[in-house]
Amino acid sequence: MDGGRRLNRLDGELEPGAIFRLRGSPKRRRGTQRQRGRRGKRRRSDAPQRRAGGLLSCRPRGAERQESNEQQGNALHAERLPWHVALSTQVNYLQSVTALGHTPLRLSELLTPDRIRVPIRAQSKEGVLRELVELLVGGNGAVPDVLQAVMERERQFPTGIGYGVAVPHGKTPALANLVAVAGTARTPVPYETVDGEPVRLFFLLAGPESQAGAHVKALSRISRLVRREPIRARLLAASDSQDFYRILCDAERGGA
């Protein structure tokens, strides 16, 4: 009773521990009903200022920071996935936002011996990407635009899928159709990969946004092809672009 009278008389001006003695358990002090009412009024009075400052949603403060941290964590987790899972994750996401037809796509239809470089002369990641983009574009002057699209994709999510394979790709209006090139490097090229290993086997794709469906099919096809170690070994052992293309055609005829 003394504690109750003290609570009413002081109207919340309690000495430390008074609430604990009244309730008999060490819970956090919550304050009086009048205090809680005043806090509620302050929160409600703050709401217009928060809306005026640009926070028009009902998400709590710090939600954007939390989402950003979660996205970064997901990206780091994705980089640790096995190579075929990492690529399949990208393909599945693209399939979820792209209407795909049922026409099968073969890499041998996208590639020709003239679009294969064996060996790739560059020895750095940037050099390899530029060399492959120049091979892909030819002489139409779109190298800067295509290279920028590919490099931007690399900054978002590196395309080294592991086991010495990379599949750089990008979308750009500078190209009218989906185009692909491939190549092998004599010495491993340092590259951000899911397994930390450098890269020797490259497939590069680029095309307009309007052909996103074919883009996804090509990525899926590459994933199915290079997940088989004997095919990877044969492609890496190809003596020239003609040999690389023949091995690719044989692999696809064999059900790869």
At position 231, the amino acid (one-letter code) is: I
Residue 170's beta-bridge partner residues? 206
Q: What is the CATH number of domain 82-253?
A: 3.40.930.10
10-24, 186-200, 238-252: range with lowest mean pLDDT: 10-24
Rg of the Cα trace of the chain? 30
> Which pLDDT does position 93 carry in this prediction?
43
Phi/psi at 244 (nearest 5 deg)?
Answer: -60, -45
Q: Which entry of 84, 102, 169, 215 is annotated as an active-site residue?
A: 169
Residue of 87 and 141 predicted with greater confidence: 141
Tally of CB atoms within 10 A around 161: 29
> Which pLDDT does position 141 carry in this prediction?
84
Q: Confidence band (pLDDT; 50, 70, 90) for 52?
A: very low
Q: Confidence band (pLDDT; 50, 70, 90) for 139?
A: confident
- Condensed to tens digits (0 to 9), the pLDDT of residues 144-156 reads 999 999 999 999 9
Q: Is 113 helix (H, G, I), strand (E, B) or coil?
A: helix
Average pLDDT of the segment spanning 224-239: 96
Tell me if residue 169 is catalytic.
yes
At residue 225, does pLDDT exceed 60? yes
> Which pLDDT does position 254 carry in this prediction?
83
Q: What is the dihedral of CA 66, 158, 224, 234, to 10 degrees?
A: -150
At residue 248, does pLDDT exceed 90? yes
Average pLDDT of the segment spanning 188-209: 97
Q: Mean of the per-residue pLDDT values for the chain? A: 75
Cα angle 194, 185, 134 (rounded to 5 degrees) comes to: 95
Instruction: Tell me where in the chain the CATH 3.40.930.10 domain(s) lie.
Output: 82-253
